[in-house]
Amino acid sequence: MRSISLFFRSVAKSLFLVSSLSIGIHAYAQNNTDANAAAGQATSGSAAAGAPVVAAATAGDAGAGGAIFKQKCTSCHAIDRAVVGPALKGISERRDREWLTKWIKNSQALIASGDPEAVKLFNEYNKLVMTPFPELSDDDISNILAFIDAEANKPAEAAGGAGTAEGGAEGGSEQGVSDWMLGGIIVLVLVALFVILVLNRVIKTLERLLLQKQGVVVEEVESESTAVRFRRLAKNKKFVGFAVLLLVIFLGSVGWKAMWETGVHQGYQPEQPIKYSHELHAGTLKIDCQYCHFGAYKSKNASIPSANVCMNCHNYVTASDKYNGETSPEIAKIYKALDYDPQSKTYGDNPKPIQWIRIHNLPDLAYFNHSQHVTVAGIKCQECHGPIQGMKEVYQYAPLTMKWCINCHKTKDVNYKGNAYYDKIVAVHDQLKKGVQVTPAILGGIECGKCHY
Amino acid sequence: MESNKKYWKGLEELKTTPEFVENNKGEFAESLPIEEILSDAGLKAPTPRRDFLKAMGFGLGAVTLAACQKAPVHKSIPYLIKPEEVTPGVANYYVSSYKGHGILVKTREGRPIKLEGNPACILGEGRLDAVTQASILDLYDVSKLKDPKLDGKDATWASVDTFVKGELNKIQAGGKKIRIVSSTVNSPSTNKVIADFVAKYPNTRHVQVDAVSYSGILGANQASFGRAVLPHYHFDRADVIVSFGADFLGTWISPLEFNRQYVVNRNLASLKNKKMSRHVQFEAGMSMTGTNADVRVALKPSEEGLALLNLYAVLGGGGSAPKLSNAKAATALGLVAKELLAAKGRALVVSGSNDIATQTIVNNINTLLGSYGTTIDITNPSYQYLGNDADFVTLIAEMQRGEVDGIFFLDSNPAYNSVLPKEFAEGLYKVKLKVSFSERLDETAALCNVIAPVPHFLETWGDANAVAGYYTIVQPTINPVHNTRQAEQSLLIWSDNAIKNYYQYVKNNWETSILPGAGLSWKQLLQTGVVNSGAGANAPAAASNAAPAVNAGNAAQAILAASAALAKGGESVTELTIYESVGLRDGSYANNAWLQELPDPVSKVTWDNYVALNPKYADKLGVTEFDLVEVKADNYSVVLPVLYQPGQAIGTASIAVGYGRTKAGKVGDEVGKNAYPFLKLQNGSLQNAVAVTISAAGGKRELAQTQTHHSYEGRNIIRETTFNKYVQDPHSGTGKHGEHPTYDLWPEHKQIGHSWVMAIDLNACTGCGACVVACNVENNIPVVGRDEVIKRREMHWIRIDRYYSFQDDQGASLTKEDQIGDLAEGDSTLEDVTVINQPMLCQHCDHAPCETVCPVIATMHSSDGLNHMAYNRCVGTRYCANNCPYKVRRFNWFNYWNDSRFDNYMNNEFTQLVLNPDVTTRSRGVMEKCTMCIQRIQGGKLQAKIEKRPLRDLEIQTACQQTCPTNAIIFGDRFDPNSAVSKALGNERTYYVLEELNVQPGIGYQTKVRNTTEAQQA
């Protein structure tokens, strides 16, 4: 027994040492990265906050104008390049303020009145009618113009903005550096451990020397070599049995867990070719899921939207205000895929499909139909795909195991109310088992052949 | 009283040959080496322990390594710009047509995967035959040409165009002839293109020649009516049908249409009204039509003409014919004549002969019977075959004389299927410009210097006019996969036509000629697919009076002379009939693996042709089954294996054409032997009966037959009655004797919602095999090839069992085993057999024997009455297959989609595009079987749920049901009392196969009813 307790003591000691060390390191590393992240946020926050302040300095109402501009104008206009309509940089210098007000309120009336400038402009832009905005007051319009002027005059400050943006990017890359730091710390700890060991030895020798000097005869304890100790331990049948038992339990449980999780990819979050954010599109902008995933309500595939669906908006939404007037590099990837030239608005003849990486990989042997669940059962996307509106990058939320499918089929109610298909079936069910919950399982929804064929 | 007629799957069972007994003894088709292993030597083998450990170690290591594999990264690549009509995962259907039959093409994500009949088609009425079902596979055929070729080298279209145009101009300048050789062209637009081409190059003539020709009928109609056309037959209007060797249900002219028509007077509805047509077949070989006949009389080809002359005389046509030597046939003719006369105006006589004189007599007989205007429509003729044998002979002569300098082959392969391949090749050698519009490098294309490959019909525009007044459009459903161009387009370019785009050409042609009359727009046409202006309606009766009876004297002389010539050799010669097989037809489908593996409706042979002989006659020739024999005619001979064919007339043999291709492609090359050169050109048309000698060539070749697989151990599974008995008691023959108490081992299944069941009418099933192919296409069933079929490993989920029952010399059915012994050994001719076709598929038993023996519960019963099979759960014990009394379960011996041995179909990446994405491909080591097209059931239910409405009857159709030309298969919900299937199963004729086992099958069969008169029964 003694040897076991001894063993445990030594093991416990070293375990404690190692765990406390690792916890310490981890905490340090985490603090470090948190701090970095916070710093990054702070710099980008200040950059974002900085812009309006500068704008406000040039004209008092540019802020209000900016809000209106974003709401009403950005779908067709940008400051420094032509979108659907012309670029607006320097518009207040090119055109008379009064003319501009008339044009914005109702361009067609102006054209109809025979204004030569208006007619020329109309013809120049392929007779595209600009939406009239009679609801805008003169003040609103001057606010907008102030905003445009402020934006147009920004290049000097924009350079500074770019600087801060780069800083933000660096802040992000520092998280990569923290890995190096972690390695450094581990090396440090190892060196420290070595030093402690050496010092320990030195202290022991010194102690003995001291005692010898004092005349105390130190009884030479017969020091056992580790090999001898180990051999003795190995001869202890009880200990060996116990160790084997522990090993079997350990390996068994690990194996058991591993086998259950074979092929389960919950949390799978591959890096996609385009950093498309569901948080922005579904969360902030509240675009309906089926605007893009049109197949979900009529097909078995929810389908990844084709690039032409993206182009419905990204024809003019380029997020250039965040990228210093340039098109967002992620949106530019769509253009590249379509071989679309945003300047000339033409499509080239060298399109390259976007190769998304599939996240939800149901095995081929299982048949799943989205429309059955979305349209017929009325299940929300989030029930299987998780808080998708908050995901910057999508990951697999559900385990997609058969157990998971069956659990749902056993507990959910069938959405049969108002669906004439179910009338007779539910009547038969009620005849057989009145009062029992009508689950998909009761109607045969967990039979093998319903999904495996 | 219930009939105790006996049925046999084949002669092996009839004679209980030792092999047959041996084969049926074991659990599995091949014996397992259990005894070897358990015997002393096996157990005391030197190193079993070490081998075991090695295997275990390797297994463990392999599993561990396999488990370490990271989940593969799957790419998901959406459309860049999605076509508006495409939703991934949802099928689109487009109308098109194939050989004049309206079809619907099912496409998924832009690739065609299945064909269905267009319900608006007057020929098929929404049904398709096996050949059309299988034609989709040719789209994904890897043996097709990918680029045009000039002098054997890949070329560009521009260089081909320059070359051909240059040559054409030279020929034009030199005043030499140009010929366009094609099989029948009934496409109005193609004909117009050819006419335009002829206008540009006036030395051009269009020669139509069909491999299997109907020149005889064309010539006879030219003589009788002054029109060289095929009449449009209406078997549905005939109460008495007499056929002399015409396999009108199998291959003759328009079999899909004839199947549909034929069954109208024999199906459930007709029998309910106590009405049934009568069908008598005189023929030499056992054809699919012969298996369905009420009375079948074996008759030598040399006597067929005589029989017709006799019939003509008896019917009052005058003239005297020599008496038939075949007494049985003579008696039958007498009876038939009476019946025909009694059914005047509702009778139809057809002949499969391609002899002008014979067909003239048939015309005269039909005129006497008042068939014109009733059962035969000559005013709205059929344009399905227009080829003229004599024209082809003229062409060869022209070529040999060196008069032809330019020749174009359009859907034509005379180097393989002409009767004079040698003369043709010699003649062709002298032609300077030889252009082949072939989709593959076939036998003729190999002899040409320009190959302008054409796309598959699913990649093309076009049209057809199969029957007068009936037009169908062909529209593409996929862009051409390879660098191919339509023949019409090429001709337009080469003739400098004003319109160079064939699509525009077709559209213009329709908009000026056909659409205005139909009141349709082009867009509407692309949705309806067909235009029918009066075809199929009752022809004016006046036509019958207009049909003049030609003086039969000359024809009779010709027939007598031909008959005498054929029978000249007496006993020493065999009369050989050349026929088309139901699967391969004229051989143009030879590279289609589905059709190669489709068992012949009668012999159940796959992947081969053979010499069909009557077993008694084979004895006389001194050969036995599977012996290789040499069949020798005047100038041609082949070596083929013998097949015992009960019902074959003594003194005759039959060989199918369509085999023996040498340049068809990977699948079809060197399968069987070519029989075309046996045909004999005589009296202006190709005769399909010739005199040959047959002698043993030494050696054997086993034929891959499916008929003897899966024995029923002699259990009584066929129920049959006669029409007379049926009229007296509709229950007759069903084997029902009141209610019996039943004892169940298992509790009853609670069924909620639906109960899927099926009804199969044995009287409507003609055995054509369309269901088998449709099932293959729908359910991704692998093709296993000849060797595997011999090992009984065919994978078809639905099969058509063919049962023989024999009659003694007096025509009485044999009912006892010992009598059969007499028959087999005695001097009966084995000519008198009756045949029943029974489609057999998983019966979806409520008390399924397969379910209770599965150790891993991989096969389960569902709440809607189906027997599910979970492939991913199956471990392959095969207990279920063993315990299945119907023998319908199939085992995957290989990964057919990932094994180079099965390169002819599923293993090929390109061919895999034809697979149905809604059905998994099964892996090696698992069982599979009919699922009742569960993907269609689930899809149909979902559609109803989405539309929030109850399911409609017949909304969900299984693949076999949807294609069945005779509507013999009805699928539906038993819980709906008004459903078609409930009504069918409620019919008095319904019985369940092996219902005495109380496995409660979900498929009910309706008894076979034969319209035999008592006189012929006795």
Q: How many CB atoms lie within 10 A of CB B190?
A: 25
Q: Quote the pLDDT of residue B822.
A: 52
pLDDT of A32 reads: 45
Question: For B340-349, what is each residue's pLDDT tens digit?
Answer: 998 888 999 9
Average pLDDT over residues B214-218: 92
d(CA A88, CA A94): 10
> According to the model, what pLDDT value does residue B149 have?
92
Q: Does position B966 have pLDDT exceeding 80, yes or no? A: yes
Residue A150 has pLDDT above 70, yes or no: yes
Residues 6+ apart with CB under 8 A from A426: A414, A416, A438
On whether both B510 and B475 belong to a single domain, the answer is yes
Q: Are residues B958 and B893 in the same domain?
A: yes
Radius of gyration for the alpha carbons in chain A, expressed in angstroms and rounded: 35
Q: How confident is the model at residue B654 (pLDDT cuts 50, 70, 90)?
A: very high
Whether B419 and B517 share a structural domain: yes
For chain A, the distance separating the N- and C-terminal CA atoms, rounded to the nearest angstrom, is: 61
Residue A333 pLDDT exceeds 70 = yes
Quick one: tokens of B822?
Answer: 């007499």
3-state secondary structure A350-375: CCCCCCEECCCCCCCCCCCCHHHHHH
**Best interface-test mutation with B: which of A299, A400, A448 has the largest number of B CBs within 10 A?**
A448
Inter-CA distances, B259 with A70, B252, B626, Å: 71, 11, 32
Neighbours of B738 (CB within 10 A): 4
pLDDT tens readout for residues A394-414: 999 999 999 999 999 999 988
In a domain, B41, yes or no: no
Residues B686 and B717 in one domain: no
Q: Helix (H) and strand (E) counts for chain B?
A: 36, 42
User: Does the residue B215 lie in any domain?
Assistant: no
Distance CA A328, CA A335 (A): 11
B643, B782: one domain: no
Task: Check if A261 contacts B (Cβ < 8 Å).
Answer: no
φ, ψ (nearest 5 deg) of residue B925? 90, 10
Token pair, residue B890, equals: 């199939």
Q: What is the mean pLDDT of residues A235-250?
A: 90
Cα first-last separation, chain B: 17
Per-residue pLDDT averaged across A376-382, rounded?
91
Q: How far is A353 from chain B (nearest CA, A)?
A: 6
Considering B321, B355, B379, which residue would you say is the last residue of a domain? B379
Helix ranges (H only) for B878-965 are 879-883, 934-946, 959-963
Residues B592 and B606 in one domain: yes
Return the higher-pLDDT residue of A358 and A181: A358
As a whole-number percent, the residues of chain B with pLDDT over 70 amount to 90
Nearest-angstrom CA–CA distance, B229 and B220? 9
Contact B556, B572 (CB under 8 A): no
Between B119 and A259, where is the model more confident?
B119
Please check whether residue B118 lies inside any domain of the structure.
no
Tell me, yes or no, whether B391 and B442 share the same domain: yes
Asked if residue B446 has pLDDT above 50, the reply is yes
* CB contact (8 A) between residue B750 and residue A432: yes
Same domain, B365 and B416: no
Distance CA A14, CA B591 (A): 75
Query: Looking at A305-309, A315-319, B847-851, which range is the least confident one?
Result: A315-319
Residue B34 pLDDT class (50, 70, 90 cuts): low
Distance CA B775, CA A155 (A): 70
Nearest CA to CA, how far is B967 from chain A (Å)? 26
Range of the domain at B314: 228-379
Of how many residues is chain B composed? 1018
Closest CA to B841 of B961, B984, B686: B961
**What pLDDT, in 10s, does the model give residues B871-923?**
999 999 999 998 998 889 999 999 988 888 887 778 888 889 999 999 999 99
Contact A358 B76 (CB under 8 A): yes
Question: Region A30-36: what's the mean pLDDT?
Answer: 44
> Which range among A12-21, A200-209, B485-494 shows the weakest confidence by mean pLDDT?
A12-21
Out of A193-197, A449-453, B326-330, B902-906, pick the least confident: B902-906
Check if the beta carbon of residue B1001 is closer than 8 Å to that of residue B994. Answer: yes
Instruction: Using CB atoms, pick whichever of B753, B864, B872 lies closest to residue A365.
Output: B872
pLDDT computed for residue B814 by the predictor:
55
Q: Do A353 and B78 count as a contact with CB atoms less than 8 A apart?
A: yes
Mean pLDDT, residues A444-449 taken together: 89
Asked if the structure places residue B278 within a domain, the reply is yes
Mean pLDDT of the A17-35 span: 48
Q: Are B406 and B170 in contact (CB under 8 A)?
A: no
Tokens of B80: 């860049």
**Closest Cα to residue B248, out of B580, B594, B659?**
B580
In this prediction, residue A151 has a pLDDT band, given cuts at 50, 70 and 90, of confident
pLDDT (tens digit per residue) in B252-301: 999 999 999 999 999 888 888 889 999 999 999 999 999 999 988 889 88
Q: Is the pLDDT of residue B400 over 60?
A: yes
The answer on B655 and B615 residing in a single domain is: yes
**CB-neighbour burial class of residue B726 (10 A; exposed 0-12, middle 13-18, buried 19+):** buried
Distance between CA atoms of B860 and B852, rounded to whole angstroms? 9
Whole-angstrom distance, CA of residue A305 vs CA of residue B80: 9
Mutate to test the interface with A, among B63, B65, B73, B79 (most CBs of A within 10 A): B79
pLDDT at B167 over 70: yes
Residue A147 has pLDDT above 50, yes or no: yes
Task: Give the pLDDT band of residue A125 (cuts 50, 70, 90).
Answer: confident
Regarding whether B602 and B458 lie in a shared domain, the answer is: no
Half-sphere exposure of B402 (CA within 13 A, CB side): 2
CA distance A420 to chain B (A): 5
- The per-residue pLDDT for A342 is 82
| A355 has a chain B CB within 8 A of its CB | yes
SS (H, E, C) B366-391: HHHCCCECCCEEEEEEECCCCCCHHH
Residue B641 maps to which CATH number? Answer: 2.40.40.20
ipTM of this complex prediction, to 2 decimal places: 0.84
Total-model pTM: 0.82
Integer CA distances (angstroms), A257 to A20, A399, B428, B917, B975, in order: 27, 14, 75, 34, 46
Question: What is the reported pLDDT for A48?
Answer: 39
Q: Quick check: B80 and A351 CB within 8 A?
A: yes
Q: pLDDT tens across A158-183, in order?
A: 444 443 333 333 333 444 456 678 88
CATH of residue B329: 3.40.228.10
CA-nearest residue to A264 within chain B is B71
What secondary structure letter does DSSP report for B72? P
Residue A33 has a pLDDT of 43
Q: Check CB contact under 8 Å for B860 and A308.
A: no
Residue B138 lies in a domain: no
pLDDT at B1015: 45
Supply φ then ψ for residue A90, to 5 degrees. 70, 20
Residue numbers of A between 398 and 427 with CB closer than 8 Å to B: 418-425
Distance CA A8, CA A14 (A): 10
**Domain identity same for B721 and B636:** no
HSE of B320 in the Cβ direction (CA atoms, 13 Å)? Answer: 2
Contact B934 A449 (CB under 8 A): yes
- Check pLDDT > 90 for residue A135: no
B372 burial level (CB within 10 Å; 0-12, 13-18, 19+): buried
Q: Which neighbouring-strand residues pair with B806?
A: B833
- Look at residues B784, B929, B759, B926 and name the one whose alpha carbon lies nearest to residue B849: B929
In percent, the amount of chain A with pLDDT more than 90 equals 21
Supply the pLDDT for residue A219: 62
Tokens representing B825? 């050994």
Query: Is residue A256 less than 8 Å (CB to CB) from chain B?
Result: no
Per the listing, tokens 């005043």 go with B175
What local confidence, expressed as pLDDT, does residue B509 receive? 92
User: Within 13 Å and on the Cβ side, how many CA atoms surround B895?
Assistant: 7
Helix (H, G, I), strand (E, B) or coil at B580: strand
Q: Do A308 and B872 touch (CB under 8 A)?
A: no
Q: Is A304 on the interface with B (CB under 8 A)?
A: yes
A37, pLDDT greater than 80 = no
Q: What is each CA distance from B759 to B957, B987, B1007, in whole angstroms?
A: 12, 10, 11
Q: Of the residues B350, B379, B408, which one is the last residue of a structural domain?
A: B379
State chain B's mean pLDDT as an integer. 86
Is the per-residue pLDDT at A3 higher than 50? no
Span A75-85, average pLDDT: 72
- Residue B201 CA to residue B214 CA, distance in Å, equals 29
B30 falls within a domain: no
Task: Examine residue B549 and state whether it is found in any structural domain, yes or no.
Answer: no
Cα(B574)–Cα(B302) distance, integer angstroms: 11
**B277 Cβ contact list (under 8 Å, min separation 6):** B238, B239, B240, B241, B262, B265, B266, B270, B1011
Q: Mention every residue, 6+ apart, whose C-beta is less than 8 A from residue B939.
A: B918, B956
The total number of structural domains that make up chain B: 4
What value does the mean pLDDT take over residues A417-423? 88
Say yes or no to pLDDT of A2 above 60: no
A24 touches chain B (CB under 8 A): no
Of B344, B285, B336, nearest in space to B308 by CA:
B336
Bridge partners (DSSP) listed for residue B680: B687
For tokens 């093998």, the residue is A448
With contact defined as beta carbons under 8 Å apart, do B604 and B802 qualify? yes
Query: Of B327, B361, B379, at which residue does a domain stop?
Result: B379
What pLDDT score was predicted for residue B770? 93
pLDDT band, very low/low/confident/very high, at A20 (cuts 50, 70, 90)? low
B330 and B306 in a common domain: yes
Percent of chain A with pLDDT over 70: 78
Cβ–Cβ below 8 Å for B67 and A337 = no
Residue B275 lies in a domain: yes
Cβ pair A423:B949 closer than 8 A: no
How big is chain A, counted in residues? 453
